[in-house]
Amino acid sequence: MEEVDKILIHALKQVGTEVSEETDSIKLFTCELIVEAVVRCIRVIDPGLGGGLPTSLPPGMSARFRVGMSLAQACQDVGYKGEIGYQTFLYSNEPEIRSLLMFLVEKLPRESAEASDQPTGKSVVLQRAIAAAIRAQLAVPWLPPNCRLPLHSETQTSGVLHSFHAQPLSLPHSSRAPGKKQLREVKEYQRDFLLPVTAQPSHHASVVASILEQHTAELSAAQEWDSEWNSQGLLSRLTPQEYRSRKLTRLRKRIEEQLRSAALPSPESAFGGPRSASDLSELLQAFRGFAPSDKVMSKGTHFTHTQKFTFTQEAAPVPSSVPTGHQSEIDIQLRQQEELASFQQQFQQLCSDVDQLAADMKHMSITKSQVMDELKQRELGNADREEKMQVKKKTIDLLPDAENNMLKLQAQVEASAKRVVHLASQWEKHRAPLIDEHRRLKEICSSQEMESSRKLSEIKSLHDKIRVSTEEARKKEEMYKQLATELENLPQDASRSAYTQRILEIVSNIKKQKEEITKILSDTKELQKEINNLTGKLDRTFAVTDELVFKDAKKDESVRKSYKYLAALHENCNQLIQTIEDTGTILREIRDLEEQIETENGNKTVANLERILEDYRAIRQENSALAAKVREG
């Protein structure tokens, strides 16, 4: 058990339990140390469950009992199946505590179990304590400041809250494009004039939000570039710089096309041209027939509108701003209301006229598109008719000399047929090598495509392996640095060979014990087999002897007495064998009882009873003190 206790103590130190160097066995654990070790383990296993458990026992006995019950319930919640209660912690029992700590150490997360094999250090313990505290605080639900109780003051502060307001930041590493060198002017600006990151936002509360936003944007951009390069960039078989330049060129072309298409006139105005202008003038003339000329909203330039507005201002009589003796304020208000009403009526009339004009223009544009479609269809029909007419005209021109023309046509047809046959034969001569060459090139292309796809998959797998290896190398480098610093802080008197020798001795002892156990089991099996053989032989011998003596006993009286003595001897032997077996069973029970007595002696039953009596007296004193306070109140 000594080695087991050392392993348990080492694991408890890893989770933050303060175990002194003199304590090298579970037997030396006090109640306070047991409670602290169990709470530390539960906090690592389940931070939400162990966050509310204290790491030390309170002074009052009733509070100690409540803490013990809470710890027992927490151990059962994490999966401990053994018998446990408040007495496990208040009146410690070495085997129960050892089994409980072994369960909790085995229940620790994987990273804690892996860390238990590494050398201990104050920095590692501090980092784990900080991580556990952060996890415990994150597990506590957030409450508004008005709803917080005094018990939440430790986990949730009532400081000033700020909204998440991010502002753009200028960082030297983010302004430099990958694969390009910075200009000298840019470097001088960043060195001499660029403000620090904490001074760039307008408010100090926006610094953290701005940095987080900048970091998130850069991280997402890097992830998008990695995914795009792995999915499309590798397939293009270009370098990253060439792929970026080609992508930038395509983007510029698309922007130019969008700007060019937006700058072109609409299809209707481009197709209609002067006709649409004439239609618009005709509509305006028709509109003038039922509306005053001064109310028509004709289209013009900014200069014409300015001239018109200046002219109307000069032509219109300027009303006097100062009322005469015959005018009053009421008359001025009435006149203004009448003018406002007339202007509103004119505005409504103009709006309705504009809507009517828009509807007419829409109708005319639809009519124009229909007419243009019909014109195109008729032009196509006319072209077909012209072709047919040309064919018929040539046929009619050939009718006067039909026989000679037929002979000439037949001669041309035969010559064309011979020429086609000759060309076909020549094509067949050229076609066979071309087909062979095409098949050969196709096979080469397919093999090259397969080879390129195979190499592409290998490149992708190599990229993944490189990324994984880089991450593992980075982790191992960090672990190496941490282990190197911890090794420097460790005492140098301990030698590795001593630990190795001790481990080899333990392994050899276990091997010897295993061999002895195997030998004892084999001897026991041999003895049992021999006992079974002897028992069977005795039963068979008695059966044969009994049969022979029984036959002679029917004839001779002395043989009959011998048969009785034989039966009595067999019965006495059976009783003797049964007595020996009962004696062995009793001896085994005696040994079990002696072991139980030793176990009970090791459990400190008497000492625990004395402690229970002392705790009982302390509880009675507390109860009497509380009753006295109640009576006084």
Tell me the domain boundaries of the chain: 2-142, 184-262, 401-488, 518-602
Distance CA(461)–CA(467), nearest Å, equals: 10
Does residue 319 have a pLDDT over 60? no
pLDDT at 325 > cutoff 50: no
Backbone angles phi, psi at 246, to 5 degrees: -65, -40
Q: Which amino acid is at 123?
A: S
pLDDT one-digit tens code per residue, 570-626: 888 888 888 988 898 999 899 888 888 877 776 666 777 777 888 788 888 888 888
**Cα–Cα distance between 115 and 481 in angstroms, integer?**
15
> Could you give the angle at the alpha carbon of 453 between the alpha carbons of 450 and 459, nearest 5°?
140
Q: Which of 34, 39, 140 is nearest to 96 (CA)?
A: 34
Tokens encoding 119 = 């050398």
Q: Name the range with the highest mean pLDDT among 125-139, 355-369, 478-492.
A: 355-369
520 pLDDT tier (thresholds 50, 70, 90): very high
Reference 414, options 426, 425, 422, 404; nearest CA is 422
Q: How sure is the predictor about 503, in pLDDT bands with cuts at 50, 70 and 90?
A: confident
Task: Determine contact, residues 13/106, Cβ cutoff 8 Å.
Answer: no
Residue 327 pLDDT more than 60? Answer: no
Categorize the per-residue pLDDT at 343 as very low, low, confident or very high, splitting at 50, 70 and 90: confident
pLDDT on residue 154: 56
With cut-offs at 50, 70 and 90, classify the pLDDT of residue 522.
very high
Lowest-pLDDT range of 116-130, 176-190, 255-269: 116-130
Distances (CA, A) of 625 to 59, 64, 66: 15, 18, 19
**Can you give the pLDDT at residue 178?**
56
Residue 179 amino acid letter: G
What integer best gives the mean pLDDT of the chain? 78
pLDDT tens, position by position, 147-170: 766 655 555 665 556 777 888 888
Minimum mean pLDDT range among 23-32, 199-208, 265-274: 265-274
Q: What percent of the chain has pLDDT over 90?
A: 6
pTM comes to 0.34
Closest CA to 98 of 16, 32, 36, 6: 6
Average pLDDT estimate for 197-202: 86
In 3D space, the residue among 350, 368, 348 whose CA is nearest the CA of residue 360 turns out to be 368
- Say if residue 99's pLDDT is above 70: yes
Tally Cβ neighbours within 10 Å of residue 307. 12
| Rounded-to-integer distance, Cα 296 and Cα 122, Å | 90
